Chains A and B, each alone.
Chain A
Amino acid sequence: MSALGELRNLKGVKNKGPQSNKAAFFFLLPWFVGLLAITFGPMLASLVLSFTDYNLLQPPRWAGLDNFVRMFTDERLHKSLGVTFLYVIVSVPLQLGLALLLAIFLDRGVRGLSFYRSIFYLPSLIGGSVAIAVLWRTIFGTEGLVNQVLALFGIDGPGWISDPSTALSTLILLNVWTFGSPMVIFLAGLRQIPTSYYEAASVDGARRWRKFRSITLPLLTPIIFFNLVLQIIHSFQTFTQAFVVSGGTGGPADSTLFYSLYLYQRGFGQFDMGYASALAWLLVLIVGACTAVNFWASKYWVFYDD
């Protein structure tokens, strides 16, 4: 299984055979140093900084819980939480649904599978780049491609990215557009279902839909779960697209003020490092809680064959 599967089943990493602590230490040395200096050290430091007032110029000043108390009255923070949650809740199911649908379509031996797969996958490879964000800004502009096409049908489209009521949906669309990578995972999962299951079901007289519901879907739930967890974690951190499309502001009217964008503005725009650290930890808590809920809920719908 994937990284998540490995975490579920760590018994596979049992020690078997003679210990070689010295050699292991040597091979893991760069990783250990990185873990301490680049990962755990900074995590700890940001936890400490979150209780301080720090602007990089003067040394940090202890502020107690001030940063966290501030969160309750910070309206832009509330706005950014709303934007981010809406984005995750709408775009992740749409993206995964489309990915699953097309994977099922492609699974049943379509001619030209690798061609379709490449086309569907390409957006995932470039979707996070500045160039595509720039393209999005162009095609959803007032005179952009989308409105040109709508004009052919006599429709006068809005300025998609300059209108607060539509700006976020263009970014949701961009996330859905990158459904190729979860699709590839679904395809892999579908391939691992033994054909003998379907043959046995045919013998019992099961039709297509019945086979899908009783074999494909249950056996695919671990993969759906895997994709869901990763996509949620990933989508919570969306930054580049919103930053480029809104010119770094999160506008219009903060309608694309993603959480990570707000954190960036606080930390690297205003150098309010203490508050930014507190925001970072809030993000970790939110993402961690979502993941925990996901794992808890998985008991009720994810089916493990092992």
Chain B
Amino acid sequence: MMTNTTIEQELATGVSALERRQDRAPHRGHRKTVRRATYPVRAILKHLALIIVASLMIYPVLWMVISSFRPSDEILRNPGLSLEGFNLDNYVNGWTAFTEPFGFYMINSLVIVLGCIVGNLVACSMAAYAFARLEFRGKRWWFAIMLITIMLPIHVLIVPQYVMFSQLGWINTIWPLVIPKLLATDAFFIFLMVQFIRGIPRELDEAARIDGAGHPRTFLEVILPLMVPALATTTIFTFIWTWNDFYSQLIFLTSPDNYTTPIALRAFVDQQSRTDWGAVLAMSVVSLLPVFLIFLLGQRFLLRGIATTGGK
């Protein structure tokens, strides 16, 4: 449910405020020009420090990508980033090292990811509409409960969930992973969307109301089209978190036919007595590729999207 999410949740709330602030505070731009002009030496030192930290941080990832194109025996000898020709052997070996080609497991992952995205989009937006726009009995308490479930450790749920899903015969199906999303258990996204809907002028709802629209129509025809950025943010985060998720997939998917990308990758590393690091690194890169792509393509949209959320 929320294995690797907590850390990311902050981002959504944080970035939003950050971007909003940038839009609204042009005077900061003025301040920085003054500073740069006054302290050129300081600015250079600062960039130097930043570049050093950034390089240190990104070096392992770059090394991984470059090493994946090297002959296996060189990986354990070459700490540098130079590359003599693209050697695709690792990719060929890694891709076919499993019982099925690696793409098979990526498709398994993708099916689950898509299911989770649909679930989060539908169920969380409905709940968010109620919390942001409707008045009902006990609202404050339900809202508090919703916020607390964001922080609940998954470990207290997983054992009885496993018992429940195994009695339903759902182990080794996608349902234990997808059904909870269809039931809005990723409360973080409810919160994100509530924050976003709060920013939409209520006059728009009222205009719809005067035109005779009930809540379902107001939700579908007024609110949903206006909250596309929040839906995009939800889609991107759900994609990345579900794609990276290991814990619940490890527990609920035990037969190799159902393995997802991370489970297959882990099995690959552990099954070998003498690990073929080249192939392992190559498949690691392949498994991260969708995340990199989404990060590159979606980043601007992602940041913009959350910008209007008023997450903070």
Which residues from chain A sit less than 8 Å from chain B, CB to CB? 1-3, 5-7, 10, 13-21, 23-31, 33-35, 37-39, 41-43, 45-46, 49, 56, 102, 105-106, 108-112, 116, 118-126, 128-132, 134-135, 137-139, 141, 143-145, 148-149, 152, 177-178, 181-182, 184-189, 191-192, 195, 226-227, 230-231, 233-234, 236-237, 239-240, 243-244, 247-248, 260, 263-264, 267-268, 273, 276-277, 279-281, 283-284, 287, 291
B78 at the interface (CB under 8 A from A): yes
Judge whether A236 and B270 touch: CB under 8 Å.
no
Complex: chain A residue closest to B166, CB-CB: A56
Judge whether A13 and B139 touch: CB under 8 Å.
yes
Q: Given known contacts A28-B126, A105-B49, A188-B16, is B135 in contact with A149 (CB within 8 Å)? A: no
Judge whether A124 and B16 touch: CB under 8 Å.
no
B98 at the interface (CB under 8 A from A): no
What is the CA–CA distance of A1 and B13 in the complex, to the nearest angstrom?
Answer: 8
Judge whether A125 and B291 touch: CB under 8 Å.
yes
B29 at the interface (CB under 8 A from A): yes
Judge whether B127 and A126 touch: CB under 8 Å.
no
Complex: chain A residue closest to B50, CB-CB: A116
A102–chain B nearest beta-carbon distance, Å: 7
B239–chain A nearest beta-carbon distance, Å: 11
What are 8 A-B pairs at a CB distance below 8 A? A28-B126, A28-B142, A46-B159, A108-B32, A129-B287, A181-B7, A181-B11, A273-B162
Judge whether B246 and A130 touch: CB under 8 Å.
yes
In the complex, chain A residues whose CB is within 8 Å of the CB of B308: none
In the complex, chain B residues whose CB is within 8 Å of the CB of A181: 7-8, 10-11, 14
B117–chain A nearest beta-carbon distance, Å: 15
Q: Given known contacts A39-B157, A116-B54, A184-B18, is B10 in contact with A230 (CB within 8 Å)? A: yes
Judge whether A27 and B219 touch: CB under 8 Å.
yes
Complex: chain A residue closest to B34, CB-CB: A109
Judge whether B153 and A233 touch: CB under 8 Å.
yes
Complex: chain B residue closest to A95, CB-CB: B7
Judge whether A152 and B79 touch: CB under 8 Å.
yes
B69–chain A nearest beta-carbon distance, Å: 15
A200–chain B nearest beta-carbon distance, Å: 14
Determine, out of B20-28, B83-91, B226-234, the stretch whose residues face the partner at the interface.
Answer: B20-28
Judge whether B147 and A6 touch: CB under 8 Å.
yes
In the complex, chain A residues whose CB is within 8 Å of the CB of B63: 139, 145
Judge whether B137 and A21 touch: CB under 8 Å.
yes
Judge whether B17 and A188 touch: CB under 8 Å.
yes
B172 at the interface (CB under 8 A from A): no
Instruction: Choose among B14, B27, B161 the residue with the greatest number of A CB atoms under 10 Å from its CB.
Output: B14
Judge whether B156 and A2 touch: CB under 8 Å.
no
What is the CA–CA distance of A264 and B63 in the complex, to the nearest angstrom?
Answer: 32
Judge whether B163 and A34 touch: CB under 8 Å.
no
Q: Given known contacts A116-B50, A184-B15, A283-B153, is B160 in contact with A277 (CB within 8 Å)? A: yes
Judge whether A237 and B184 touch: CB under 8 Å.
no
In the complex, chain A residues whose CB is within 8 Å of the CB of B265: 130-131, 134
Judge whether A28 and B127 touch: CB under 8 Å.
yes
Complex: chain B residue closest to A109, CB-CB: B32
Contacts A20-B215, A30-B123 known; 9 new A-B pairs at CB < 8 A: A30-B184, A111-B36, A130-B262, A132-B284, A134-B269, A141-B76, A188-B21, A240-B246, A244-B266
Judge whether A192 and B312 touch: CB under 8 Å.
yes
In the complex, chain A residues whose CB is within 8 Å of the CB of B247: 239-240, 260, 264
Judge whether B295 and A122 touch: CB under 8 Å.
yes
In the complex, chain B residues whose CB is within 8 Å of the CB of A247: 269-270
B9 at the interface (CB under 8 A from A): yes
B207 at the interface (CB under 8 A from A): no
B213 at the interface (CB under 8 A from A): no
A147–chain B nearest beta-carbon distance, Å: 9
Judge whether A31 and B16 touch: CB under 8 Å.
no
Among B27, B35, B57, B312, the residue within 8 A (CB) of A108 is B35
B238 at the interface (CB under 8 A from A): no
In the complex, chain B residues whose CB is within 8 Å of the CB of A243: 246, 250, 266
Judge whether B127 and A31 touch: CB under 8 Å.
yes
B122–chain A nearest beta-carbon distance, Å: 8
Judge whether B147 and A3 touch: CB under 8 Å.
yes
B149 at the interface (CB under 8 A from A): yes
Judge whether B18 and A284 touch: CB under 8 Å.
no
A33–chain B nearest beta-carbon distance, Å: 5
B107 at the interface (CB under 8 A from A): no
Q: Given known contacts A119-B54, A128-B244, is B144 in contact with A10 (CB within 8 Å)? A: yes
What is the CA–CA distance of A40 and B62 in the complex, to the nearest angstrom?
Answer: 44
Q: Given known contacts A30-B183, A237-B154, A260-B155, is B126 in contact with A177 (CB within 8 Å)? A: no
Q: Given known contacts A138-B277, A139-B63, A267-B159, is B134 in contact with A20 (CB within 8 Å)? A: yes
Judge whether A38 and B161 touch: CB under 8 Å.
yes
Q: Given known contacts A102-B53, A135-B60, is B159 in contact with A233 (CB within 8 Å)? A: no
B61 at the interface (CB under 8 A from A): yes
B97 at the interface (CB under 8 A from A): no
Q: Given known contacts A181-B7, A181-B14, A237-B154, is B140 in contact with A10 (CB within 8 Å)? A: yes
Judge whether B287 and A37 touch: CB under 8 Å.
no
What is the CA–CA distance of A152 and B78 in the complex, to the nearest angstrom?
Answer: 11
In the complex, chain A residues whose CB is within 8 Å of the CB of B148: 7
Instruction: Choose among A14, A125, A141, A263 the residue with the greatest number of B CB atoms under 10 Å from its CB.
Output: A125
